[in-house]
Amino acid sequence: MNEPKKNTPDRETGSPVTRAIHGIPHPDPHRALNPPLYQTSTYTFPDMETVDRVLSGEEKGYIYSRGGNPTVSRFEEVVSLLEKGEASRAFASGMGAISATILHLSRGNRTVHLPVTLYSGTRAFARKFLEPWGVPVRWFDPRPEGWLEKLDATLQEGDGCVFLESPTNPTMDILDLRELSALCRAKNVPVVVDNTFATPVLQNPLLLGCDLVIHSATKYLGGHGDLLGGVVTGASGTIDVLRGEEGSFLGATLSPFNAWLLLRGIKTLSLRMEKHTANARAVASFLAGHPKVRQVFYPGIPSHPGYSIARRQMSSPGGMLSFELSDARTARNVCDRLSLVGIGVSLGDPESLIEHPWSMSHRWIGEEERRAIGVSPGFLRMSVGLEAWEDLVLDLDRALG
């Protein structure tokens, strides 16, 4: 019999495009090109001896889909390949992955360090759950010069983690992940990066020294706005414990169908990110030259404070940008006048989306705090989609006019 053809790239040398499409080969008796969907909650055993072998860990096998599912496992394997991590654990949403990971790392009331520039959902989790439960939360500002030295002064040996984003949501700040990781490693503090904006195609935090990477798979990994999912990637020892404890008992399990949709979406991730980025460059260039736009926040523009760092740690600046207008009324009117660009809080879809954080994602944050983190009344965040960039520029030009 002929040996099966090896159709998977090497983990270290294969391009993201190829890894996303081929993943790890799983022989199928029917030779199906695409992975099957295992839409089941329970797995049976032929006999009690098999039960003993599986439950003792002597033999690999699935028991109940809250703990593991073949379709979900395949999605986890592909993400591990893309992020160049040892293992991954999937969750029902991005917040499921974030909350489970932070809870795991903060056990024993270990301190969690969070930047003030942070996704509003993660911020709310810290404010509404971690702090009331007595978990020490230290907030730091990653924007002023010397912020790393100030953070270093607050870090204690064995703290729970430093959790951050780069680029940040929605202010598009860029943090030096390599320098931060070196600083935290010296004090045995794990670094967790929400890599949703960049995706594993544009940035690999693990290769920069970070310990865990999180994605809201709802966004670019799925890429079509038709699912919810989250995933965390890192060393197998950490992920195995997370999988068996918070990953199982908190119940935020990714459904097999959504894992199947994610496997489909990831196959075009590299191509989509190329188009998202090209469109965002064109839109950012247009906005930077418009008289009604006060400032554009996009790491692909040389005037961005994090431009040089982004060039070092990202292969390209991505499809997200923000810009500032004079006031809330002007910003809201622009949203209302757009026809191609939809008003919505998500991102990473083929359709371009815009949101007014002052009225939407950051609505329930105090006004003074909103301004302090860089969200002004005239601030808008845009997820640049896959439409023709000329049409997007025309739509924005009409709305601004």
Percent of the chain with pLDDT over 90: 90
Residue 330 lies in a domain: yes
pLDDT band at residue 23 using 50, 70 and 90 as cut-offs: confident
**H-state helical runs in 117-235:** 120-125, 147-154, 177-185, 199-202
Tell me: do 196 and 276 sit in the same domain: no
Q: What share of the chain is helix, strand, coil (3-state, %, to 5)?
A: 40, 15, 50
219 is catalytic: yes
Is residue 176 part of the annotated active site? The answer reads: no
Is 3 within the bounds of a domain? no
In degrees, to the nearest 5, what angle opens at C-alpha 126 toward C-alphas 153 and 65? 120
Residues 380 and 396 in one domain: yes
Catalytic member of 19, 38, 89, 119 = 119
Distance CA 224, CA 369 (A): 33
The answer to whether position 6 is within a domain reads no
> Residue 397 pLDDT more than 80?
yes
DSSP β-bridge partners for residue 378: none
Q: For position 104, which CATH number holds?
A: 3.40.640.10
Do 245 and 377 fall within a single domain? Answer: no
Say which residues have a Cβ less than 8 Å from residue 151's Cβ, sequence separation at least 6.
113, 140, 142, 162, 180, 183
Alpha helices in 293-388 (DSSP H): 307-313, 328-337, 367-372
pLDDT, tens digit, 9 for 90 and up, residues 90-122: 999 999 999 999 999 999 999 999 999 999 999
The domain of 325 spans 269-400
**How many domains is the chain partitioned into structurally?**
2
With a cut of 80, say whether residue 10 has pLDDT above it.
no
Domain end point (choices 244, 266, 288): 266
**DSSP labels, 99-121:** HHHHHHHTTTT--EEEESS--HH
Q: Which of 194, 211, 349, 395 is catalytic?
A: 194
Which of these is catalytic: 66, 110, 264, 337? Answer: 66
pLDDT tens digits for 310-350? 999 999 999 999 999 999 999 999 999 999 999 999 999 99
380 belongs to a structural domain:
yes
Range with the lowest mean pLDDT among 21-30, 36-45, 262-271?
21-30
Of the candidates 208, 239, 266, which is a domain's last residue? 266
Q: What is the pLDDT of residue 13?
A: 53
Residues 237, 367 within the same domain: no
211, 320: one domain: no
Specify whether the CB–CB gap between 95 and 120 falls below 8 A.
no
- Of 266, 292, 317, which one is at a domain's C-terminal end? 266
Q: Are strands 161-165 and 191-194 parallel, antiparallel or unpaired?
A: parallel
- Active-site residue flag, 66: yes
Is 31 assigned a catalytic role?
no
Q: Which residue has tokens 């096998």?
A: 61
Q: Per-residue pLDDT for 7 more than 60?
A: no
How large is the average pLDDT for residues 249-264?
Answer: 96
- CATH number of the domain encompassing residue 284: 3.90.1150.10
